[in-house]
């Protein structure tokens, strides 16, 4: 039985009743021939507020070219994108995670409203990638997610530099270790063109995870943003979505629990961002696939860290592409039994088939052989303890220490912590605690790259730890504990910590604890009242009212209706109405 490739759009374009709709579409250049073909939504997250998504207009034109050549009619629409790198350390950063929900909702609304037959999403900066995946999993239309690719590294005094070096340079200036003139020199070269931040930071991590889930063409994501191959690959992707539509393949036909385990293994093997934990939990929630924090730890424990990528390693994301890209990484993981090669990709092949033709650059050092891992276990670690009963996340990229014990320096917002670092008040051995920055308390769970990078820039990265109910950028390095749950705003134990309390982080034992008894914590939290909300109206207030714990992916949920008292029967109502 042949697939009806216009199953949705017929309701928009066919029949005399739809003449007004056709008239409106003809007003902007569509013809009868165009409207007789499948309508393909092209969801673009282009913006000129950052380099990450700045080139997506160009790529969208190439995608549309491929769609038309393969017999479809593309209809492009745009949604928002908030730059993590630009807003980092400011009040604007609260909008970042919130934007994930808005982007997902807007793509879903446009596709449902305009009844597209399939959808291609073009994504770049961090939250656009999981947001697009959330939307296509809800819609379950034939779909592709296309990542714009990594920025090229800059060059400073003969060395590759990325935005990570920029943030760390700020700390070096504050410590008197770098001049303002040198800072300006790095500033002018760190980001040389379009593309997302150039290490295995959140954008590149999530692009890898989405590809492993089977929602993106194999090998597309690692092609750098300004590489000549990206245009041709985008035309091919436009053709591919028509093939996916013809086959009737939808995201939920491809994504399975094994796909999630493969994605976690790939993130762990590349030292990827802790944000992957948050986003993969959210995607599993969209599908109803059981996935919990413990699953990340279990997969990471059995998966070696193979890729020597920034922020903890030596190489930028473009180097992984040259080395052999995702197919080479997959071939390594499959050879070691660390991923399921029977999981499928959107092209209709298994990962075993897709990685069979992987080519390895001679002498490459980016993706290690199985016999020489950077670490025998992966980069994602989940801790629990009396400070994080629901759990928290640490990234171990091969260079961090596994144990730290020291006195807490407690701050109730990121700006206060950054000021203390800038003024050099943080002493070696300390544990910087930043709270009321969680999903609800922030709201929006800001990333703390400004603070962590400043600590590293001051030379404190090996002697100071940091923990927060907020998040960390994928560019963070050092012993940093994020996503502490329950968060302070809901009365989690982190709200009970006081400056001077002794905190222990024990990675091997998977423990995060404060040297207080359960009774002491309970006493401190007795009568707990969170600070007044920072926003009482608008998008932040709505988000804070609906958002779940970080341990569940910080997804938003509509309020659940409360059971009402049993209504009286019709007979009782009639009797009650008699005077």
Active site residues: 473
380-385 vs 388-395, strand pairing mode: antiparallel
CB 442 within 8 A of CB 468: no
Sign of the dihedral through C-alpha 121, 125, 130, 134: negative
Taking the C-alpha atoms of residue 514 and residue 554, their distance in angstroms, rounded to an integer, is 25
Residues 6+ apart with CB under 8 A from 456: 168, 171, 477, 478
Spatial separation of the C-alpha atoms in residues 531 and 543, rounded to whole Å? 17
| CB-CB contact of 125 with 203 (8 Å) | yes
**How is residue 544 written in tokens?**
């804070």
CB 74 within 8 A of CB 245: no
8 A C-beta contact, residue 207 and residue 219: no
- β-partners of residue 547 are 556
Nearest to 199 by CA among 100, 302, 375, 321: 321
Token pair recorded at residue 40: 């393909």
Q: Torsions phi, psi of 565, nearest 5? A: -60, 145
**Beta strand 39-44 with 118-123: parallel, antiparallel or unpaired?**
parallel
Give the DSSP per-residue string, 217-264: -TTTTTS-TT-THHHHHHHHHHHHHHHHHHHT--HHHH--HHHHHHHH
Tell me how far apart the alpha carbons of residues 469 and 50 are, in angstroms, rounded to a whole number: 27
φ/ψ region of 364 (left if φ > 0, alpha if ψ in -120 to 50, else beta) reads beta
CA 244 from centroid of its chain's CA atoms: 25
Q: What is the DSSP letter of 448?
A: -
3-state SS string for 372-406: CCCECCCCEEEEEECCEEEEEEEECCCCCCCEEEE
DSSP 560: P
Closest CA to 458 of 450, 468, 448: 450
Q: Which long-range contacts (CB under 8 A, 24 or more apart) does 10-14 make?
A: 11/115, 12/39, 12/114, 12/115, 13/39
Angle between helices 449-457 and 414-422 (to 10 degrees): 10
Residue 571 φ/ψ, nearest 5 degrees: -65, -45
Distance CA 166, CA 86 (A): 12
Phi, psi of 201 (to 5 degrees): -90, -165
């Amino acid at each position: 039985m042949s697939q009806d490739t216009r199953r949705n759009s017929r309701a928009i374009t066919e029949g005399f009743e739809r003449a007004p709709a056709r008239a409106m579409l003809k007003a902007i250049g569509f013809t009868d021939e165009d409207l007789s073909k499948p309508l393909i939504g092209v969801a673009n997250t282009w913006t000129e507020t950052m380099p990450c998504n700045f080139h997506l207009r160009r790529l969208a034109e190439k995608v549309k070219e491929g769609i038309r050549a393969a017999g479809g009619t593309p209809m492009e629409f745009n949604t928002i994108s908030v730059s993590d790198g630009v807003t980092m350390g400011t009040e604007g950063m609260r909008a970042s995670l919130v934007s994930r929900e808005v982007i997902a909702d807007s793509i879903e609304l446009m596709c449902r409203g305009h009844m597209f037959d399939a959808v291609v999403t073009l994504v770049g900066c961090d939250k656009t990638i999981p947001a697009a995946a959330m939307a296509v999993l809800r819609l379950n239309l034939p779909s592709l997610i296309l990542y714009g690719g990594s920025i090229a590294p800059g060059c400073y005094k003969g060395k590759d530099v990325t935005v990570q070096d920029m943030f760390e340079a700020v700390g070096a200036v504050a410590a008197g270790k770098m001049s303002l003139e040198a800072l300006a020199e790095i500033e002018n070269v760190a980001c040389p063109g379009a593309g997302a931040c150039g290490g295995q930071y959140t954008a590149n991590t999530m692009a890898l995870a989405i590809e492993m889930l089977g929602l993106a063409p194999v090998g597309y994501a690692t092609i750098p943003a300004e590489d000549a191959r990206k245009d041709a690959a985008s035309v091919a992707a436009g053709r591919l979505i028509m093939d996916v539509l013809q086959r009737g393949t939808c995201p939920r036909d491809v994504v399975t629990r094994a796909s999630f385990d493969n994605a976690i293994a790939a993130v762990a093997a590349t030292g990827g961002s802790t944000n992957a934990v948050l986003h993969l939990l959210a995607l599993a929630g969209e599908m109803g696939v059981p996935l919990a924090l413990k699953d990340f730890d279990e997969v990471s424990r059995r998966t070696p860290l193979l890729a020597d990528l920034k922020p903890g390693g030596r190489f930028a994301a473009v180097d992984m592409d040259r080395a052999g890209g995702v197919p080479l990484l997959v071939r390594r993981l499959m050879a070691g039994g660390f991923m399921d090669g029977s999981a499928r990709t959107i092209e209709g092949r298994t990962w075993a088939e897709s990685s069979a033709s992987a080519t390895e650059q001679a002498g490459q050092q980016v993706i290690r052989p199985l016999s020489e891992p950077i670490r025998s276990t992966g980069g994602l670690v989940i801790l629990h303890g009396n400070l994080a009963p629901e759990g928290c996340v640490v990234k171990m990229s091969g260079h961090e220490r596994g144990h730290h014990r020291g006195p807490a320096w407690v701050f109730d917002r990121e700006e206060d912590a950054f000021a203390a670092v800038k003024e050099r008040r943080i002493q070696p051995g300390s544990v910087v605690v930043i709270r009321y920055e969680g999903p609800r308390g922030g709201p929006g769970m800001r990333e703390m790259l400004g603070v962590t990078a400043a600590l590293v820039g001051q030379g404190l990265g090996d002697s100071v730890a940091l923990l927060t109910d907020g998040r960390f950028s994928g560019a963070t390095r050092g012993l940093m504990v994020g996503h502490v749950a329950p968060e302070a705003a809901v009365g989690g134990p982190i709200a009970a910590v006081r400056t001077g309390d002794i905190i222990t982080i024990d990675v091997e034992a998977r423990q995060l604890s404060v040297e207080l008894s359960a009774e002491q914590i309970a006493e401190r939290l007795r009568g707990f009242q969170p600070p007044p909300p920072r926003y009482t109206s608008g998008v932040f207030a709505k988000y804070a009212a609906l958002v779940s714990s970080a341990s569940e992916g910080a997804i938003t949920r509509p309020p659940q209706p409360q059971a009402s008292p049993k209504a009286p029967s019709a007979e009782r109502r009639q009797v009650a109405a008699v005077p």
